[in-house]
Structure 1
Amino acid sequence: MTDLAGLLPPAVVIVVAGIFGTLIGSFLNVVIWRVPRGMSVVSPPSACPRCERPIAWYDNIPVLSYLALRGRCRHCGEPISARYPAVELATGLAFAGVVAGAYAGGYPAILLPLLAYWAALSIALTMIDLDHQKLPNVLTLPAYLVTAGLLVVASVVTAEYGRLLVAAVGLIALGGFYLVLAFGYRGGMGFGDVKLSGSLGMLLGWLGWAQLAVGGFSAFLVGGVVGVILMIAQKAGRKTRIPFGPFMLIGAWIGVFAGPAIADSYLALTGLA
């Protein structure tokens, strides 16, 4: 990401991204709670569920307010779930990680808004899928427009228009594959997974063939490993339905930041390089 390196030190950009990420994480807590319940994320303002007093801005500072309040409502002492600061901190770390990974991977700075968007979306979808075993349309469908729009901008800025063709291939290939699984494997993929797959395919395809192949395959590898661990621990059986969205997102991020290295290692190991 040499186009940012000459403006600000990487460490500064990473720290700023992390702080900004915690602010986004505070909003994600609202999204994670309200969206699956069909509630507005704008109104009413956040309030204590017990005393119903609105949460003041100084009690809504990511992570710090939770620590200052010792995990309790200022007015009635109702315990505040540790999940809220955990999501805020995770989002901050995710944003910092995205920037650090972009530097390491040599991605252009113009991709940062899209990668940050997907970092936030990944956390929201993962939590919702784990809680409710669904990926809401209100989150998955706009991802197509956002991803396509920002990829077009990135192609114009970098003058790499051919990447848009590979992005389209990724959309069709990954989306089509999940659609076949949804129809061909009863009780397997849900249509929420299908709707998520196409936009992930666009992102991975624009980044490269290695990212697309590794990102797509890694979802099933990670899902399989976790499934085996859960069965060994007797936390799940062969017929237990496990949300697959988180594995799709983890696999995609593996593809984004480790795809080329994994693909090169595989080709060298098999003698195909």
Structure 2
Amino acid sequence: MLGLAIGSFLNVVAHRVPAGESIVSPPSACPKCGHEIRNRHNLPVIGWLILRGKCFDCGEPISARYPLVEAGTGLAFVLVALRLGTDEQGLRLLPAYLTFAAVGIALALIDLDVQRLPDKIVLPSYVVLGGLLLIGGDGGALLRAIEGAAILFAFFFIVWLIAPGGMGFGDVKLSGIVGGMTAYLTWGTFLVGAFMGFLLGAVAGVLLMSGGKAGRKTAVPFGPFMILGAFAAILGAGELGDYYLELIGY
């Protein structure tokens, strides 16, 4: 239920932050007729179904993206909660990783829309997520998170310097968050999270080019793949990285 409600808010964030608008006011309204959305129609997913995907006042179609984001955020919150568990340590970490899920979804949506990762979201996330990880009470894991954030940021920064057209500097700034949140759990999670981002981005690029929807020089937003790779690692794929590190005796 919390994820559904947050997902509804993320739709507002993804629409207004790139435009430089307030996420607090004015209330959400139909972009065609200007009528405010009624409270009974503002329920996540259910409101869209009740309205049958159209504005109550003018009949303007409402994108299916809105309920999909709400349902997707709800599912992401459930998966994070299941992954962390209900023991004391899991509950301590839950606020940090739910926040990371929300931030990640918002940034992925914005990057897909305008190919930009706004500093207004990325930079405060370092402070907020760092503070929430402190609640976990594990000094060793926190130190590992700091190291992971620094390592991945440095790697992305070097790549950006060598091939500045290959990625935006927003991706570099996001890499520190991805590195920290994955490394906090294990080094294996960190490795898989970093690798998966590049793998998913490469696969998507090949598919787009093979389908004639992109060329070799077409700009493809990388942020969503970084975030998706990090989530895959956090939700369980990171165990492959742990197994690999055990094999090499790390």
Q: Structure 2 length normalisation: TM-score?
A: 0.93
Q: Is the 8 A contact 1:211 1:256 kept in 2?
A: yes
In the alignment, what sits opposite 1:151?
133
After alignment, is 227-236 or 258-267 more displaced? 258-267
CA distance in 2 between partners of 1:261 and 1:186 (Å): 33
Q: Is 1:41–2:29 an aligned residue pair?
A: no
Q: Is 1:173–2:155 an aligned residue pair?
A: no
> CA offset at residue 267 of structure 1?
5.3
In the alignment, what sits opposite 1:272?
248
Q: Is 1:164–2:127 an aligned residue pair?
A: no
In the alignment, what sits opposite 1:76?
58
Q: Is the 8 A contact 2:232 2:238 kept in 1?
A: no
CA distance in 2 between partners of 1:31 and 1:223 (Å): 24
| SS of equivalent residue, structure 1 residue 236 | coil
CA distance in 2 between partners of 1:42 and 1:267 (Å): 46
> CA offset at residue 144 of structure 1?
0.2
The letter for the 2-side match of 1:162 is G
Q: CA distance change for structure 1 residues 255 and 107 in 2, over 3 Å: closer, same or farther? A: farther
The letter for the 2-side match of 1:190 is G
Q: CA distance change for structure 1 residues 50 and 43 in 2, over 3 Å: closer, same or farther? A: same
Quick one: which of 90, 96, 105 aligns to 2:72?
90
Q: Is 1:138–2:120 an aligned residue pair?
A: yes
Q: Is the 8 A contact 1:147 1:202 kept in 2?
A: no
Q: What's the % identity of the aligned pairs?
A: 49
> CA offset at residue 258 of structure 1?
2.5
In the alignment, what sits opposite 2:13?
31
> CA offset at residue 264 of structure 1?
4.3
C-alpha deviations, 1:35-70, integer Å up to 9, x for none?
Answer: 000000001111111221111111100111111111
The letter for the 1-side match of 2:28 is S
Gaps of 5+ in 2: none
RMSD: 1.9
Q: Structure 1 length normalisation: TM-score?
A: 0.86
| SS of equivalent residue, structure 2 residue 26 | coil
After alignment, is 98-107 or 188-197 more displaced? 98-107
CA distance in 2 between partners of 1:227 and 1:266 (Å): 27
CA distance in 2 between partners of 1:106 and 1:233 (Å): 48
In the alignment, what sits opposite 1:236?
214
Gaps of 5+ in 1: 1-18
Number of positions where the alignment pairs a residue of Structure 1 with one of Structure 2? 249
| SS of equivalent residue, structure 2 residue 165 | coil
The letter for the 2-side match of 1:25 is G
> CA offset at residue 259 of structure 1?
4.4
CA distance in 2 between partners of 1:100 and 1:85 (Å): 23
